Structure 1
Amino acid sequence: MTTKMTEDQLNTKLEAADGTDITFQELVKESPCYVLFVRHLG
């Protein structure tokens, strides 16, 4: 899979498990494992 993150995707509001809105960038900052996962895909 060679998915590339666009600026729109990075700024897309995601809904956290507790219902709080969070941006993709904020999610990545809070999740080092996810960052590694994204780097693996990229």
Structure 2
Amino acid sequence: MSSTVSSIFSASNLSNHYKFNDDINLYELFSSSLSNNTP
């Protein structure tokens, strides 16, 4: 039982980690495009 809970927890942890990385990548793309638009 505990192994199932831990596996589910690690899976959700991984998905949260990758989602966080995607948000950072989107922010970096957005900020870089903003800096490119400014003269």
With the length of structure 2 as denominator, give the TM-score of the two structures. 0.30
With the length of structure 1 as denominator, give the TM-score of the two structures. 0.28
Q: Which has the higher helix share?
A: 2
Q: Which has the higher strand share?
A: 1
Name the larger-Rg structure.
2
Which structure ranks higher in relative contact order (CA pairs < 8 Å, sequence separation ≥ 6)?
1
